[in-house]
């Protein structure tokens, strides 16, 4: 145990200036931007990731939307991704909007995010466990078994299916969202996610399944 804590001893969280403006294609009403991402020496180095996830992208359109959810399936908000599955997106989200990184992060590309985060601000993430959700685990080739979320009882108790159901619904909106102006895109997506959150809350209060 002492050995695992040793790299964090005597080190502090990388302090960055206060954030003055938010990303224009993002919306996280309960998680305002607190500080800037910061610049790290690891940003200049080429990534030598061990795990190559399977996946592709469209040649002209943005690769997708980055969404975050609480363990009960409520969506905190979204941000447009500029690069497919870049660990920089979740890293920037966590570093700029949280006082300290959350205790548990369940994420599709978590193995690469973990390496990316520990190479930049290890103390900020020193109390964080990162795992891959059950659905995406099979896409991870040459990944460390420790990232397999379903092997942990505390992960099995979290219903990641709600997130997948919302992602499946978002996919249905893809063809119309992709060709909207930025203003219409933001408005439509905000309204859609509000509707999903509202329905989920209403259904959980009445003890029914999410049917939004």
Contacting residues toward Zn ion, per CB under 5 A:
51, 70, 72, 74, 111, 140, 143
Please name every residue paired with 69 in a beta bridge, in sequence order, or none if there are none.
75
Q: What are 118's two structure tokens?
A: 């520990």
- Closest approach, Cβ 111 to Zn ion, in A, equals 3
The residue among 37 and 136 lying less far from Zn ion, judged by its C-beta, is 136
- Alpha carbons 212 and 202: distance in angstroms, whole number: 10
Q: Please, which residue, 25 or 70, has the CB nearer to Zn ion?
A: 70
Tell me how many degrees the CA angle 101-192-113 measures, rounded to the nearest 5. Answer: 25
Identify which of residues 107 and 185 has a Cβ nearer to Zn ion in the complex. Answer: 107
Cβ proximity to Zn ion: between 27 and 107 the closer is 107
Residue among 11 and 156 whose Cβ is closer to Zn ion: 156
Q: Which CB sits closer to Zn ion, 19 or 70?
A: 70
CB of 186 to Zn ion, least distance (A): 24
Q: Give me the residue label for tokens 């996919």.
A: 171
CB of 143 to Zn ion, least distance (A): 3
The minimum distance between CB 201 and Zn ion, in angstroms, equals 10
Smallest distance from the beta carbon of 117 to Zn ion, in angstroms?
A: 14
Cα distances from 158 to residues 21, 59, 163, 174, in angstroms, run: 34, 35, 11, 27
User: Helices 110-118 and 88-97: crossing angle, nearest 10°?
Assistant: 60
Please list, residue by residue across 41-59, b when 16 or more beta carbons sit within 10 angstroms of its beta carbon and e when fewer do. Answer: eeeeeeeeeebebeeeeee
Distance of closest approach, residue 89 Cβ to Zn ion, in angstroms = 16
Q: What's the full length of the chain, in residues?
A: 212
Q: Which residues, other chains included, contact 165 with Cβ-Cβ below 8 Å and sequence gap of 6+? A: 210
């Amino acid at each position: 145990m002492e050995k695992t804590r040793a790299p964090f001893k005597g080190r502090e969280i990388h302090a960055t200036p206060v954030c003055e403006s938010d990303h224009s294609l993002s919306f996280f009403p309960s998680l305002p931007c607190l500080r800037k991402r910061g610049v790290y020496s690891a940003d200049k180095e080429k990534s030598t990731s061990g795990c190559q996830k399977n996946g592709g992208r469209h040649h002209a359109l943005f690769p997708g939307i980055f969404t975050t959810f609480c363990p009960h399936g409520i969506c905190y908000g979204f941000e447009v991704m500029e690069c497919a599955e870049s660990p920089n997106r979740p890293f920037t989200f966590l570093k700029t909007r949280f006082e300290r990184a959350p205790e548990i992060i369940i994420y599709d590309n978590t193995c690469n995010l973990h390496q990316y985060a520990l190479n930049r601000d290890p103390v900020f993430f020193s109390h964080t466990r990162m795992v891959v959700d059950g659905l995406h685990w099979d896409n991870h080739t040459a990944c460390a078994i420790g990232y397999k979320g379903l092997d942990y009882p505390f992960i099995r108790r979290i219903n990641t299916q709600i997130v997948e159901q919302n992602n499946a619904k978002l996919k249905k909106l893809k063809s119309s969202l992709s060709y909207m102006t930025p203003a219409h895109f933001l408005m439509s997506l905000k309204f859609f996610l509000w509707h999903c959150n509202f329905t989920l809350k209403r259904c959980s209060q009445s003890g029914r399944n999410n049917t939004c």
